Chains A and B, each alone.
Chain A
Amino acid sequence: MNFKNLREYLAWLYYQYLLITGIYVLEPWEKSIFNSILFSAIAMVVYTSYVFVPIHVRLALEFFSGIFGGQHSTMKH
């Protein structure tokens, strides 16, 4: 596929999304319901990961560095 510009490419991507999910055949109001549910779910996932992933990563780092640091210190002794 050759695209003239980014806009055309994005339109094609959206068309593929419509076809694969099957919402191509739905009426506009049904499409907007589907899109709203899908995008709010994605937004929630993104937000949750933004909020909680750093905390978990920090905790995990502390945990592993605790083990690693502990071993390290035993080796020193």
Chain B
Amino acid sequence: MFFFPQNPNVTHNSNLYKRPFVESFEETPLLVAVLTYMGYGILTIFGYLRDFLRHWNIEKCHVARDREQQKDFVPLYQDFENFYTRNLYMRIRDNWNRPVCGVPGAKMDLAERVSYDYNWTFKHTGKVVKDVINMGSYNYLGFAENVGACADAAVDVTKKYGSGVGSTRCEIGNLDIHEELEQLIARFLGVESSMAFGMGFATNSMNIPALTGKGCLILSDELNHASLVLGARLSGSTIRVFKHNNMQSLEKLLRDAIVHGQPRTHRPWKKILIVVEGIYSMEGSIVRLPEVIALKKRYKAYLYLDEAHSIGALGPHGGGVVDYFGLDPNDVDIMMGTFTKSFGAAGGYIGGKKELIDYLRSHSHSALYATSMSPPVAQQIITSMKIIMGEDGSTLGRQQTQLSQNTTYFRKKLWDMGFIIYGNDDSPVVPLMLYMPAKIGAFGREMLKRNIGTVVVGFPATPIIESRARFCVSAAHTREMLDIALEAISEVGDVLQLKYSRRERPLPALGWMSEESLLQD
């Protein structure tokens, strides 16, 4: 369905894949790109005007500024990020950080708020916007609920263990429920051993420094999450970045690393660690894992796979990208993932060989210094994981089937409507391109008017012209909910003119090119 002959992302090693791997990133139409830059240009001019007025105290300055006594020091609020926050983000700030009351399941309630000073301050009206369809939560399998088996089990465990012990796993914070959780995770992933942490972000940022150090090389995808970037930087290793999901780029870096070794000394690298994610949450793309594993084996590197979004959400058994591609989990050296998304809990895990986990238990900062996971959270993970594995007596893979059907349906419909959507056909993260800065604000507001909660994303999370709305499909969404959401998206797409895609029409560039070549002949 998503096939482009000129797409650079087409599979080159299709023999490694057991099923077609289709991923599309339609090119930005030229006119849209020009208009987007023009829009940013106009807004920047008005930003400078407002900064000028604030500087001369003609209008009141609501944000932090350099103090009068410090005016000869280095300016603190002059860089582009601060300018952007003050003059562009503030104008459409009502689309973010909306207060949610209650459980953000398939539907949620939002606290209504108004601003009388153009988003500098907000006031709660006291009203609640009821039953907003939630298209923004990472609730892939629908476990974010306050009723049901998971919630009941968590309540029982709270009565038994309390809310937490306030000590680390190494000291007196180790409970039998943690051991049970870790054994279950290892079984779920199909690895020898595993370890759970109380914080997903720290799982990445504190364990990479335990694994690599000076004299090691980290090859990192350019779109890796901030936690991986932070971990890689903290480790003190050399970091080289390859193009997003581009295996030629990765192979070139690997070859160069092996041929040239470390800079200046030309000693071989102690370790080479490839760091990739399962699903990239901004692009909706899935890592080309079979090719990464082939490269890792050929060049004897290590592989760190962050399955924050993919665990539970991908694969026939919910086992993440490894399950999705039908690969052997032992081929991935470090399997990392979080419980925040599919399991409706909090925290992260690392799975792998027993030696690796034993090493991490005694060397990882987040194992040594952080308090152990709260028992009700651990129980939520245990119960939801058992439901995914079918060990609670329910049908195996019910959520996965529902999620993959929802994903296919949702993506297909958006595709047919003529929106530009990014990413893999099977990815439950669906980015819909908005491009223009004013449309970010307008899309969020128009969708909420139609009682649908969405996430809109702009700079700095994306490149400046590639602003987008991001939908996360959940197994908890019913077909009716998706239909309501799709109808609203289509309507808003017409009002805001978002159906940019030029797939159906013949490419105008080709006609022009052929004319040109005729003229040259």
Contacts and interface: CB of A to CB of B under 8 A. Distances in A.
A55 interface: no
A19 B494 contact: no
B38 A19 contact: no
A20 B494 contact: no
Interface stretch (B39-47, B126-134, B160-168, B307-315): B39-47
A25 B38 contact: no
Interface string A5-40: 000000010011011111111110010001000000
A1 interface: yes
A25 B437 contact: yes
B442 A1 contact: no
Nearest to B494: A1
A25 B35 contact: no
A27 B438 CA distance: 13
Nearest to A22: B39
Given A19-B442, A20-B436, A25 B495 contact: no
Contacts of A20: 35, 38-39, 436, 438
B350 to A, nearest CB: 43
B438 A19 contact: yes
B46 A21 contact: no
B438 A34 contact: no
A16 B441 contact: no
Contact of A22 (B49, B437, B495): B437
B436 A19 contact: yes
Residues of A in contact with B, size category: 10 to 19
A41 B249 CA distance: 49
Contacts of A24: 438, 441-442
A21 B438 CA distance: 8
Nearest to A25: B91
A20 to B, nearest CB: 5
Nearest to B50: A30
B494 A25 contact: no
Nearest to B92: A25
A22 B92 contact: no
A11 to B, nearest CB: 11
Contact of B441 (A21, A25, A30, A34): A25
Contact of B42 (A1, A22, A27): A22
Interface in B35-90: 35, 38-40, 42-43, 46, 49, 88
Given A15-B495, A16-B497, A23 B438 contact: yes
B393 to A, nearest CB: 52
Contacts of A19: 436, 438-439, 442, 496-497
B409 interface: no
A57 B40 CA distance: 39
Interface string B429-467: 000000011110110000000000000000000000000
B53 to A, nearest CB: 11
Contacts of A21: 38-39, 42, 438
Interface in B462-521: 494-497
B391 to A, nearest CB: 51
A23 B42 contact: yes
Interface string B1-42: 000000000000000000000000000000000010011101
B512 to A, nearest CB: 24
A36 to B, nearest CB: 14
Contacts of B43: 22, 25-26
B42 to A, nearest CB: 5
A16 B91 CA distance: 18
A38 to B, nearest CB: 10
B118 interface: yes
Nearest to B119: A25
A15 B38 CA distance: 17
A1 B491 CA distance: 9
Contacts of B46: 26, 30, 34
Please indicate which of the listed interface residues A23, A25, A26, A34 has the most CB atoms of chain B within 10 Å of its own CB: A25
A22 B438 contact: yes
Q: Which of A12, A18, A21, A24 has the most CB of B within 10 A?
A: A24
Nearest to A28: B118
Nearest to A2: B494
Contacts of A30: 46, 49
B331 to A, nearest CB: 48
B257 to A, nearest CB: 44
Interface in B411-445: 436-439, 441-442
B438 A25 contact: yes
B52 to A, nearest CB: 13
Contacts of A1: 494-495
Nearest to A23: B42
Q: Nearest 10 pairs between A and B by C-beta?
A: A22-B39, A24-B438, A25-B91, A19-B438, A22-B438, A22-B43, A22-B42, A22-B437, A25-B438, A20-B35
15 contacts: A1-B494, A12-B495, A19-B438, A19-B442, A20-B35, A20-B39, A21-B38, A21-B39, A21-B438, A22-B38, A22-B437, A25-B88, A25-B437, A26-B91, A34-B46
Given A19-B436, A19-B497, A22-B438, 16 more contacts: A1-B494, A1-B495, A12-B495, A19-B438, A19-B439, A19-B442, A22-B42, A22-B437, A24-B442, A25-B43, A25-B91, A25-B438, A26-B43, A30-B46, A34-B42, A34-B46
